[in-house]
Chains A and B, each alone.
Chain A
């Protein structure tokens, strides 16, 4: 089966600019997650969707980050405006159900200048 697809793989922007990431989960996976992984740390959950509804966005900095999954399949994560501390790898993952093993994409490495 095809894995979780993410794009772009790399992005370099200046602070205060905006950026968007795209994720296509494994076919049939109802649950989709966005994680932020800062260098030297483990992934931290930003937001979790069940189909097109938000299950958990408690750690999403809502003043600058937004995410949507309008049709319950693809998802986009946006940062506007970006700050230096947003430099990280943004990982998308999906699972069949909310409690099952999560399958990760290869991530988008974001660098803020």
Chain B
């Protein structure tokens, strides 16, 4: 059962524009969510997180929005830069557990 889904395998955005990456989840018992960024041949790097009691968290060019009623979260990157080209994973932390459940990833390409 895929509890965390990223339905877009890839996304292409022009440099300077906004990138929006989406993630849906099915389990209401997740207590916080994270986004990781992964370059080829490297491990995922933590980017930003949000608690389930919040609906927005911002860190520089990165903002994560959480819509609990829709079981949906999104990552906004603005303005997008060439160095943002990577695979982005959405992950969720189940209440009472210590593991993370990952989505399949979205490959973001920023075009000059």
Interface string of B80-108 (1 = CB under 8 A from A): 00000000010101000111101111000
Determine the distance from Cα of A55 to Cα of B93 in the docked complex, in whole angstroms: 15
**Which residues 17-59 in B have Cβ within 8 Å of A in the complex?**
34, 36, 41-46, 49
Closest to A103 in B: B46
Count of A residues near B, CB < 8 Å? 24
Count contacts on B: residues with CB < 8 A to the other chain. 23
Q: Which residues of B contact A45 (CB under 8 A)?
A: 99-100
Return the CB mask of B3-26 against A: 1 if under 8 Å, else 0. Answer: 010100100000000000000000
Taking a contact as CB atoms closer than 8 A, the residue among B49, B89, B97 that contacts A56 in the complex is B97
Contact with B along A19-57 (1 / 0, CB 8 A): 000000000000101000000111111001010000110
Contacting B46 at CB < 8 Å: which of A40, A98, A102, A105?
Answer: A102
**Cα distance A73–B5 when bound, in Å?**
33
Q: Which A residues are CB-close (under 8 A) to B43?
A: 4, 91, 93, 104-107
Cα A46 to Cα B70 with chains together (Å) = 30
The interface residues of chain B lying within 8 Å CB-to-CB of A103 are 46
Most B CB atoms within 10 A — which of A4, A42, A101?
A42
Residue contact B102 to A43, C-beta cutoff 8 Å: yes
Residues in chain B near residue A50, CB distance under 8 A: 98
Contacts of B97 in A (CB 8 A): 56
Chain A residues near B45 (CB-CB < 8 A): 104
Could you write out 25 A-B pairs with CB less than 8 Å apart? A4-B43, A31-B98, A33-B99, A40-B9, A40-B104, A40-B105, A41-B104, A41-B105, A42-B6, A42-B91, A42-B102, A42-B103, A45-B100, A56-B97, A56-B98, A56-B99, A91-B43, A93-B43, A99-B93, A99-B98, A101-B34, A102-B46, A105-B43, A106-B42, A107-B43
Q: Interface residues, chain A, CB within 8 Å of chain B?
A: 4, 31, 33, 40-45, 48, 50, 55-56, 91, 93, 98-99, 101-107
Give the interface of B toward A (CB within 8 A): 4, 6, 9, 34, 36, 41-46, 49, 89, 91, 93, 97-100, 102-105
